[in-house]
Amino acid sequence: DVVLTQTPSTLSATIGQSVSISCRSSQSLLDSAGNTYLYWYLQRPGQSPQLLIYLVSNLGSGVPNRFSGSGSGTDFTLKISGVEAEDLGVYYCMQATHAPLTFGSGTKLEIK
């Protein structure tokens, strides 16, 4: 199975600060058709996960543009440009290039 390693495991930020979360894959996530099935989700406390980013860099429906995704192959990054209070929670990356679908272990964002 593909292992996704997220760093850091915990992140503390002030309002307005920009932060980045890394997701490193044990295998390339580029498929034979040239697609990279890498996603980012946010799970706020007590809530279900919600889609932030799909196919590496595409913003999900209704997601603020302070969120952005980048990367290729095995290295991916989620950036939040100007953290807001509502951004606290656990961020997960997920890959769907290789079966079975797998998630990273999560990065908890705390607001100072």
Partner 1 sequence: EVQLVESGGGLVQPGRSLKLSCAASGFTFSNYYMAWVRQAPKKGLEWVATISTSGSRTYYPDSVKGRFTISRDNAKSSLYLQMNSLKSEDTATYYCARHDTIAAFDYWGQGVMVTVSS
Binding site for partner 1 (CB under 8 A): 1, 37, 39, 41, 43, 48-51, 54-55, 60-61, 92, 94, 96, 99-106
Smallest separation, CB 108 to partner 1 (Å): 11
Residue 16 vs 62, nearer CB to partner 1:
62
Tell me whether residue 15 or residue 43 sits nearer to partner 1 (CB atom).
43
Taking residue 19's Cβ as centre, other Cβ atoms within 10 Å add up to 19
| Closest C-alpha to 50, from 77, 83, 78, 89 | 89
CA 75 to chain centre: 11
Query: Taking a C-beta distance cutoff of 8 angstroms, is the pair 97, 31 a contact?
Result: yes
CB of 18 to partner 1, least distance (A): 25
Q: Are strands 10-13 and 38-43 parallel, antiparallel or unpaired?
A: unpaired
Minimum CB separation of residue 106 from partner 1 in Å reads 5
Q: Which is nearer to partner 1, 15 or 55 (CB)?
A: 55
